[in-house]
Structure 1
Amino acid sequence: MSLRRLLAGALTLLAASTIAVIIPSAQASAATCAAPWSSGAVYVGGTAASYAGHNWSAKWWTQNEAPGSAQVWADQGACGGSTPPQPGSGCNYPDWVAGQNYSTGAIVRYTNGNYYQATHDNPGYDPTISTWYWSPYTCDGGNPNPPGGGGFVVSEAQFNQIFPGRNSFYTYSGLVAALSAYPGFANTGSDTVKKQEAAAFLANVSHETGGLVYIVEQNTANYPHYCDYNQPYGCPAGQAAYYGRGPIQLSWNFNYKAAGDALGIDLLNNPNLVQNDAAVAWKTGLWYWNTQNGPGTMTPHNAMVNGAGFGETIRSINGSLECNGGNPGQVQSRVNAYQQITSVLGVAPGNNLYC
């Protein structure tokens, strides 16, 4: 609802009575889902919206800020509607079909055997991207069973061991909070594959940021180069505003636009969120890892879960600049980091380490 319509409604109420009290929409109970959150709607303090299976209450006026930010929204708890499969339910949920329209709350079985629930209406997007969230059961002979493990495969102690000199901005809690955006990350396949993927991501991140030391690109002379004015939306934050930020050094206005659209965050107009909010920074890294082929032939996520190996993640990030003899020293640096991290996680690095 637009702000103009909200004001018009208030005037109508005042005209109907000499005394009128305008009360924000009541918060829906945890048992009933409020109307789904909409990026284009305006919410005032106290209004409710459902998102990712929870009801949320706006703390103040907001628009285009997805629920999940503790600064803007208060979590009112899980809400009703469809629920994830429970033990003994028989797992009678349909297989996901690419291109088929799904409504908010729909549950499907993905090709990896896990169940996913739609966070909002979508035209058959892949469940491992941010329009879905993972439901914690798989099917085995019609009976759902919790998958092995639980939580992120890298503990906080291991994270601190891997990055002893990291910048305090790159928090473990920020990384864990970002995982909900891409639930398939480090959560697909065997426990070995999950750990290998986590190690591969952290190794590339370590290389890009000097061991999680740098938040922004250090060569400021490059900053004005990352604005492509051929894009219809231009560079509203300024020509020099789209320099590298975050764990995979997100850069260029079109990448900020694409990442923001995927994550439900306006990064085109607010690129500084990537250097000021740890969870947002990690999400942009996960966005690239899970959805972008880059100069390669597959996403880094697919490279790890489909057995192509760590070398293909390098190709997807820096392609010919490093691979096929482009810069063997940089490739070796990434491989060294990967081998060190797999050692910390207690897992073999696997094959095809180079590109």
Structure 2
Amino acid sequence: MTGRRRTAAVLALLAAALAGSAVAGLALGPVRIAPGQVLDVLSAGPEGRRGAFASIVWDVRMPRVLLGAVVGAGLAVAGAVLQALVRNALADPFLLGASSGASAGAVLVIVLGVGAGSAVGLPLAAFAGSLAALVAVYALARRGGTMTTGRLILAGVAVQYVLSALTSLVLVVSAHPDQMRSVLFWTLGGLGGARWEELALPAGALLAGTGLLVALARPLDLLLAGEEGARTLGLDTGRFRAAVFVLSSLVIGVLVAYSGAIGFVGLMVPHAARMVVGAGHRRLLPVCALAGAVFLTLADLLARTVAAPEEIPVGVVTALVGGPFFLWMLRRSTRSEGVAG
């Protein structure tokens, strides 16, 4: 099977999996609805919603499922791109501090109330925090023109600790007791606050950002070949990397502003996608988008059903899955660096 046919088959399978996970997300919860009834409600359309089941599907669960798919897709795409920018398979929006930076910026806006009421105040603050964290980690990890896995991880952990301490300080000093619980849940990642009127901005950021990044697939592929090779082929690596850092931070910031910090999606999904369709970004990024949407939709379904009627933050679920995966990848990466050295 050629690479193009394989990619088309994988995308078709992932699209079917996303449809199935979405139906499961609409059917399961504290109130269980049969899949057939879910399909009947969906076929009737928004204008035909009548009864309790229709209200649950359209008003409560549909926005949450859609937000989960959008956030999962965006984090997976951003993770694949960051891995290309720093040429390290362990890069991830969460591990590189981008999600923590976005969370810190958003929490500052929420607690201090500066611009929190505007439609773009929270996403802008999250974007600024995400970009600042990425720049700090990159500057700390890159020394003498090289970047090792150890320095990258240590820089990411250090920036995360600083940002977490800043967020905790703001919460303790400024937050109202009732506000602290909701913000704490939000910093762990959660999709429970999804509303129809808030879906347009994250969906727009995902579509525009992914479209632009797919258009930049060739220079992203060049970066994988190394700095010198990319420059020889005419790529201004410094300017290109800075522009893509800004674009990735914008996507991450907007998504985290509506979902909170959800880790490890951008680490696991790109790695699995490369094993199936290869490292070429024109094929990789669409596969990452669909696979990330499926993964986070299922993770959120597990988060709200495993301990029902209580709800677990979806970031806890992704961390429980992604933590062991990260340790396995770190061990393999450290072993390969030791062999190379």
TMscore range, shorter length: under 0.3
> Which structure features the higher share of helix residues?
2
Q: Answer with 1 or 2: which has the greater Rg.
A: 1
With the length of structure 2 as denominator, give the TM-score of the two structures: 0.22
Give the number of the structure with larger relative contact order, counting CA–CA contacts within 8 Å between residues 6 or more apart.
2
> Which structure features the higher share of strand residues?
1
